[in-house]
Amino acid sequence: MTGHDLESVALTLVAEGKGILAADETVPTLTRRFDALGIRSTEENRRTYREMLFTTSGAAEFMGGVIMQDETIRQKSSAGTPLAEVLSGQGILPGIKVDTGAKPLAGSPHETVTEGLDGLRDRLAAYRGMGARFAKWRAVIHLDDVLPSLGCVSANAHALARYAALCQEQNLVPIVEPEVLMDGSHTIERCEEITGAVLHAVFHALFEQGVALEGMLLKPNMVIAGKECSRQAPVHEVATATLRCLRRHAPAAVPGIVFLSGGQNARLATTHLNEINRLPGPKPWKVSFSYGRALQDPALEAWHGRDENLSAGQRALYHRASCNGAASVGKYTDEVEAGAPGADDPPHRRDWRDD
Ligand code: 13P
């Protein structure tokens, strides 16, 4: 694959009206989500759930790609087709999470550094052979009055850049995900300051490692107040601060910015994305979604581990995917949302967290 091919895969992921479904929860994370609903986390149940999501009729219209994790990319559908082929057969690009998780950072016990670089070249080659066209690595930044430390930001930026360079070498488009968490009581202003500093460090590291910006996607958090902050900024303020921060720190050569939902409820994540796309002024990148919880929560809730609910689960996913597809072009309205099955937060999901 040439640099041009990487760019065309990146652009396909964020084609007009499309975004990405993040369905790459690790087994322990998905088990916690299943446990909350009383669903047994067997390999078969996890496969059934992912197959339900991946075979949702019409969802390909709004999903340029789906991110899987190791177990899923090795699984086959009930008809015996590898799940990666189930996706590519519908024109959805298969992707793969390749980090091995956020681990305690030596010397700073409340912070983490994401691991997984050892042996990564060989793992990427193997995933490419299984049909993956893009990859994901998530760095996690904890925020309070003092944190993050410089050491945490630079260690995570370095790892993201090393990962991204290896992906491009192995013909995979890297999704670069530095997530500043919503946990805590910080203000939106503090989130903007730290998100900007983190993006600055990440793009500096990407430059040092020779990553071609045209052949990657950025997956950032939105600029938003901490969940426990007494002042939650209104939608327009979140959108304005997020776009300002990205204009300052995300180079125009990056083809697309695909937000994580980070614990926002499903409708709010859609509303914020829509508002960002409706703001005036330059947006040199496609601005879309790569949501996990905000796309899956209503579908998981509707399915509830029962075969008789598979089509209800698919309807719920289709609905959220179509709403977010509309938001990715600034055309989400109350009418588009109307009739949404279960779009609000189910009460059990507040502690859901990927590792
Ligand atoms: P959320 O949208 O649930 O934050 O998940 C996105 C993701 O891929 C986290 O790494």
pLDDT digits (tens, 9 = 90+) for 45-66: 999 999 999 999 999 999 999 9
Ligand 1 centroid to residue 260 C-alpha, Å: 5
Q: Is the pLDDT of residue 340 over 80?
A: no
Confidence label for 2 from pLDDT (cuts 50, 70 and 90): low
The pLDDT assigned to 140 comes to 98
Q: To test the ligand 1 pocket, which listed residue (100, 217, 218, 291) has its Cβ within 8 A of the most ligand atoms? A: 291
Nearest CA owner, ligand 1 atom 5: 292
pLDDT bucket at 106, cuts 50 / 70 / 90: very high
Unique residue bearing structure tokens 């946990």: 183
Q: Which atom of ligand 1 is nearest to the CA of 22?
A: 8
Pocket test for ligand 1, best of 138, 217, 260, 352 (most atoms within 8 A of CB): 260
pLDDT classification of 219: cutoffs 50, 70, 90: very high
Residues 113-133: what's their mean pLDDT?
Answer: 98
50-66 CB burial, b ≥16 within 10 A, e <16: bbbbbbbeebbebbbbb
What are the tens digits of pLDDT across the range 20-35?
999 999 999 999 999 9
Contact 305, 46 (CB under 8 A): no
> What mean pLDDT, rounded, does the chain reach?
95
- Dig out the tokens for 190 from the structure: 């503090």
How many CB atoms within 10 Å of residue 236?
12
- Residue 64 tokens read as 């340029």
Residues 232-247 have pLDDT tens digits of 999 999 999 999 999 9
Residue minimizing CA distance to atom 8 of ligand 1: 22
Cα–ligand 1 centroid distance for 65 (angstroms): 14
What's the token pair of residue 322?
Answer: 């179509």
Among 137, 227, 354, 355, name the best residue to mutate to test ligand 1's pocket (greatest count of ligand atoms within 8 A of Cβ): 354
- The tokens for 73 are 């990319």
Give the tens place of pLDDT for each residue, 69-86.
999 999 999 999 999 999
Closest to 64 measured CA to CA, from 328, 349, 345: 328
pLDDT digits 0-9 by tens, 169-197: 999 999 999 999 999 999 999 999 999 99
At residue 17's C-alpha, the angle toward residues 16 and 18, to 5°, is: 95
pLDDT bucket at 3, cuts 50 / 70 / 90: confident
Q: Determine the atom of ligand 1 nearest the C-alpha atom of 177.
A: 10
The two tokens of residue 273 are: 């994305």
Q: Which residues are catalytic?
A: 177, 219
Rounded Cα–Cα distance for residues 144 and 35 (Å): 30
Rounded Cα distance, 308 and 322, in Å: 23
Residue 292 CA to ligand 1 center (angstroms) comes to 4
Ligand 1 neighbours by CB, cut-off 6 Å: 22, 138, 177, 260-262, 291-294, 354
